[in-house]
Amino acid sequence: MDVDYHFYNGEKVDFGGKVLTIECKAKFIGDGNLIFTKLGKGSRIAGVFMESTTTPWVIKPWTDDNQWLTDAAAVVATLKQSKTDGYQPTVSDYVKFPGIETLLPPNAKGQNITSTLEIRECIGVEVHRASGLMAGFLFRGCHFCKMVDANNPSGGKDGIITFENLSGDWGKGNYVIGGRTSYGSVSSAQFLRNNGGFERDGGVIGFTSYRAGESGVKTWQGTVGSTTSRNYNLQFRDSVVIYPVWDGFDLGADTDMNPELDRPGDYPITQYPLHQLPLNHLIDNLLVRGALGVGFGMDGKGMYVSNITVEDCAGSGAYLLTHESVFTNIAIIDTNTKDFQANQIYISGACRVNGLRLIGIRSTDGQGLTIDAPNSTVSGITGMVDPSRINVANLAEEGLGNIRANSFGYDSAAIKLRIHKLSKTLDSGALYSHSSRGAGFLCLSHLLMCEGVTVIHHLMRRGG
């Protein structure tokens, strides 16, 4: 295709099962959906560019130096017509920026401008190097389809890349691999009713989302229409979400916003209680920076999650409604910077955390608890963490082998002990080493609390 093609909403092209390679050298232009159906297995679409006919009104809740705008009037002041520099406001923005609904002019409300390429009911079709302005790429009722190396399309009103299998069989083998997207009113990459099976066939690998209007990467939650939209057994690996308006990675299955008595077309609540579904996703090596909402969120039971980094987020770094799951090497650094009613990391169920890096360069005054995991066992915390802001069921640190405490730039070194049940502010024991005129002093001290009286005992020995 080497000439721009103008399509109408709902226009359908039936390829009759032929296996084709479609090289796009020009644009598809139109508002709505251009539907490709019955492409043969092994077909490939390369270089497709989708562009809306209409230029929408968009908002941009970031300053020129990339700081968040959260005041409704300030966000509305960014309103302009553009296909490249912002996203169309939605009802989600009415929640995120209270008061914005009344300030937006009528022509900026209820817009639905997207130029969407819909791949419908196909097997084994790949889309490579897709781009566009107010663009969307919808795989509906597809299996073993891939979106490969997206070439930074700027999203429209809907999700930029969507795999939706709400009717027929659960989707399987559907991937977002590589590439990046920007803006868009909803999520950059999203899945509805996909199940990769034991082989974890499907998901997101090596992808970057920039300034999504909702979440960067999302698995849908709850019921849509008459059936479940939840997802199981997918991979989420080696991917980055930067400055989403809501969440970085939103990988839950159940929702608290619209509680359900049961799960139509899915496991019943009686078998798996709320937030305890066996999602079995493979989750590793994800980075979130600058989310206005939660950096990393998920639920489920019995999962293994590793190498998650969340940095410089306005809301909670991690909000984990998980049970009996294992988290390894988690870094939650400089989060809840807007001082919301939230904690920097929250874990609801009885989980195990092995390796937790906390605290960065920002002040943490008033930012809730650093870690709130009242039912979990945590080990390997690093960072200057105020112990009064840690709430865990068990903090386990085993010292194996030889241990040395080095003090740099000071004349003393100390190992201090504190039993929170006795006091959250006083140490119950300590081992000190002091230097004085070249001689070393070893000082052992312990604290006794009895009937409200605190007594400190010291034993000092001069070293030779």
Catalytic residue numbers read 214, 247, 250
**DSSP output for 296-329:** EEEEEES-EEEEEEEEEESS-SEEEEEES-EEEE
Residues 448, 455: contact at Cβ < 8 Å?
yes
In this structure, are strands 326-335 and 352-358 parallel, antiparallel, or unpaired? parallel
Residues 355, 329: contact at Cβ < 8 Å?
yes
Q: Residue for token digits 């890349």?
A: 161
Distance CA 274, CA 398 (A): 34
Give Cβ neighbours of residue 270 (< 8 Å, ≥ 6 apart).
none
Residues 176, 161: contact at Cβ < 8 Å?
yes
Residues 37, 11: contact at Cβ < 8 Å?
no
Residues 135, 152: contact at Cβ < 8 Å?
no
In this structure, are strands 146-155 and 352-358 parallel, antiparallel, or unpaired? unpaired
Distance CA 177, CA 242 (A): 17
Using alpha carbons, select from 104, 99, 194, 184 the residue that is nearest to residue 140: 194
